[in-house]
Structure 1
C-alpha cells in the first residue's frame, strides 16, 4: 500500500474539515444536544470511520484493513476512558451543561494534535531503533498493572481527578483567574481587569490530561500496526464523534463499572504482543546473541478478535453484574425523582401520576440494595440523596398527589442518606 503526499494531504483536510464543521455547526451556539441529535451524529461519525476502512479493501489490501479496524476499536475503547476523565474534570469545575459541548470538542481537538505529534515521534523512533518495541511492550504492561492495582484499591476516582493538575496551578499562579463563568467566554472583565474564566482553566486541565493519555494510547496502537498512516487515521476517527457519544451514553458511562479491568486486559495483551514482536525481530546483543528469537507472533486478525471479545465481556459484565444493576437502580432513582420534582403547576394529573410511579418504583429498588453496594456506590455522590429526598418531600407536600405514598413517607422519615 503506497501512501503518498496527496493521500496524506486529502486525509488531513478531511479530518480538519470535520472538526471545523463541528465547531461552526454544533458548538457555536451553546446548547445541550438531545438524545436524537447525539444518536444521529454518533451514527454518522461511526459510519464514516467504517466506510474509511473499506478504502483499504478497495485497493486489495486486506491486511491493512484489518489493522485499521483493530486500531480503531482499540483507540475507541481507550477514548471512552478519556470521557470519564473529562466528566470528572468538568464536574470539578462545575461546567454548566450547555457549555460542556465546547469543552469536549476542545479536548478532542487537543487530543488529536497531541496524538499526531506522538505518532510522528513514535514512527521516527521505530525507524531508527526497532528494539523500541521492548520498551513499548513493558510500558503498556506496567500501565495495565498500575491501572488494575488502582481499581482494586478503590482509588480510581482520586487517580483520575486531574482538575487541579500542575498545569492549572501554574497558570493560576501567574495569571488572574475568576471563579465564575461568563457564558462560554475564555476571558471576562472583573473589577475592571481582564481575567481568565473557569472555561479556560477547564480546557487547560483537559489539554494537560490529554497528553498523559497519549502516552499509553500511541504505544498501544503501534502494537497493532507500524504503518503511520493507519495509526493516524484510526486514532483520528476514534476521536471524531466522541463529543456526541458523550451525550448519547450519558449515564451509561458510570454503569461501565468494570471498564478499567477491560482496558487493563487490552493494554496487557498489546504489551505482550509488542514484546513477542520485538523478540522475533531482536537485535539486542544480550538477548539470544543479537539473533531473532523463534517465538510465535500474534497475527492482527487474532488481535481484532481478542479486542472485540474483551470489550464485549467488559460491557456485558458491567451492565448485568450485581454492581452494575445496583448502579442502574440508583441512577434511575435519581433520574425519575428529578423529573418528578421538575413538574410544574400545570402538569397533567396523569403525567404526574406516571412520574410518581416511576420515582417510587426505582427508589424502592434502590432501598432494597445490598448495603455493600449502597455504601460503595453512594460514596462521593451525596447529591443523589438530596435529589431523591427533595422530590419525595415535594410529593408529600402536594395535596393533589393522593396516590399511595409509602415510599415517600419512608424516605422523608429517614435521617442521613436517603438510600
Structure 2
C-alpha cells in the first residue's frame, strides 16, 4: 500500500485528536472508572478501529483492510496479556483507584511512541534483509513453546520486578514516598522531587517494550506494510486503558489465555518461515491473510469459551467443597451434642 507523507501526517494528527478527545471527555478529572464507563469507551475504540478498517477497504482495497483487521485482532489479543502485568504494577506502587486511569493513559502513550520506534526499525530491517523472517519466525515459535511450558507448569508472576531503567531513574532522581494528586514533580524543602505517579507511568510504558518483542514480529508476519502495522498497534493500544477496567475482574478466569496466545504466535511463526522460504525460491505453500484471520479468531473464541467453562467448573467445585466441609462440621457438632 503506497502511503504518502501527507497521509502519514493526517493519520498521526487524527490519532492525536482522538487521544485528546479521550482525555478531555473521560480522563481529565481523576475518578474511579465504572464498568459501564469502561464498556462504553471500549466499544467506541473498537468502533473507531472498525471504521478505519472500512476506510482502508474503500480506498485501499480488500487486501490492506484484511491485513489491518488481522493485525488489530492479534495485537488486541496479545495486549490482554499485558493487563496481567499492569495489575501487578498497580499493586506494586499502591496506585489509588482514582489515579489509575491517568497512569494508564500516559503509560500507554509512552508505549505507543516506543512501539513506533520498534516498527520503524523493523520495517527498515525487513526492507534490507529478507532473511530476518527466519529469525522472526523462529523467535515466535520459541516464544509459543515457552508460553506453553509456563502454562503447563502453572508459573505466574505474583509481584512486579522493576527493570533496570526504572531502578536507574529512582537512583538518579529523588522521589517522594506518597502521591500528590496527579502531579509528577513536587517541591519539598526547596528540593524538586519526583512522585510515584511518574515512576508508575514509566513502569507501564517501558514494561510494554518487553511485550513488543513478540507482538511486533507477530504483526509483521501478517503484513509488511509499516502504515498498517502502526495503525493496528495504535488502535489496539489506545483502547487498552478502558479494557483494563472492563475485564480486570475477569483476567483470572482466562485460564487458557496462554495456550491460545501460544497457538497464535506459533501459527504466525510458521507462516513467517514459509514466507521466508517462498522468498528464497523454495516451492512451499503460503498462508493467506484471510486464513490467518480465520485461525486467529477461531483460536480466541475457543480459548475464551474453554477458559470461562473451566473457571465456572472450578468455582462450582469450590462451592461444593465448602458446602461439604460445612455439612461435615455440622454432623460432628450434632454427634458431639448427642454424646453430651
User: Normalized per residue, which structure has more helix?
Assistant: 2
Structural RMSD (CA): 2.4
Q: In structure 2, what is the equivalent of residue 341 of structure 1?
A: none
Secondary structure at 2:27's aligned position in 1? coil
Q: In structure 2, what is the equivalent of residue 263 of structure 1?
A: 261
Secondary structure at 1:33's aligned position in 2? coil
Question: Are 1:177 and 1:196, in contact at CA under 8 Å, matched by a contact in 2?
Answer: yes
Q: In structure 1, what is the equivalent of residue 180 of structure 2?
A: 182
Q: 1:223 to 1:366 in 2, by over 3 A?
A: farther
Q: In structure 1, what is the equivalent of residue 245 of structure 2?
A: 247
Separation (CA, whole Å) in 1 of partners of 2:251 and 2:17: 28
Correspondence 1:18-417 to 2 at 5 A = 18-59=18-59, 61-158=61-158, 161-190=159-188, 192-282=190-280, 292-321=281-310, 324-325=311-312, 364=319, 367-368=322-323
Deviations 1:107-166 (CA, angstroms, capped at 9, x unpaired): 2111211111111111111111111100111111111122222222222215xx444222
Separation (CA, whole Å) in 1 of partners of 2:59 and 2:295: 26
Separation (CA, whole Å) in 2 of partners of 1:246 and 1:329: 26
Question: Are 1:163 and 1:202, in contact at CA under 8 Å, matched by a contact in 2?
Answer: no
Q: Report which stretch shifted further, 271-280 or 142-151.
A: 142-151
Separation (CA, whole Å) in 2 of partners of 1:329 and 1:28: 42
Separation (CA, whole Å) in 2 of partners of 1:213 and 1:127: 23
Question: Are 1:111 and 1:214, in contact at CA under 8 Å, matched by a contact in 2?
Answer: no
Separation (CA, whole Å) in 2 of partners of 1:256 and 1:305: 21
Secondary structure at 1:141's aligned position in 2? helix
Secondary structure at 1:26's aligned position in 2? helix
Secondary structure at 1:224's aligned position in 2? coil
Q: 1:328 to 1:233 in 2, by over 3 A?
A: farther
Question: Are 2:109 and 2:205, in contact at CA under 8 Å, matched by a contact in 1?
Answer: no
Question: Are 1:93 and 1:202, in contact at CA under 8 Å, matched by a contact in 2?
Answer: yes
Question: Are 1:130 and 1:278, in contact at CA under 8 Å, matched by a contact in 2?
Answer: yes
Q: Higher relative contact order by CA 8 Å / sep ≥ 6: 1 or 2?
A: 2
Separation (CA, whole Å) in 1 of partners of 2:88 and 2:244: 13
Alignment TM-score, normalising by the size of structure 1:
0.74
Alignment TM-score, normalising by the size of structure 2:
0.90
Q: Report which stretch shifted further, 79-88 or 146-155.
A: 146-155
Q: In structure 2, what is the equivalent of residue 337 of structure 1?
A: none
Kindly state the Cα deviation for residue 272 of structure 1 after the two structures are TM-superposed. 0.6
Kindly state the Cα deviation for residue 202 of structure 1 after the two structures are TM-superposed. 1.1
Q: 1:214 to 1:272 in 2, by over 3 A?
A: same
Separation (CA, whole Å) in 2 of partners of 1:149 and 1:74: 21
Question: Are 2:107 and 2:202, in contact at CA under 8 Å, matched by a contact in 1?
Answer: no
Question: Are 1:163 and 1:205, in contact at CA under 8 Å, matched by a contact in 2?
Answer: no
Deviations 1:250-301 (CA, angstroms, capped at 9, x unpaired): 211221111111111111111110000001112xxxxxxxxx1111111111
Separation (CA, whole Å) in 1 of partners of 2:96 and 2:59: 47
Unaligned runs of 5+ in 2: 331-340
Q: 1:293 to 1:247 in 2, by over 3 A?
A: same
Separation (CA, whole Å) in 2 of partners of 1:22 and 1:234: 18
Structure with bigger gyration radius: 1
Deviations 1:17-58 (CA, angstroms, capped at 9, x unpaired): 111222333222110122222111111110010111111221
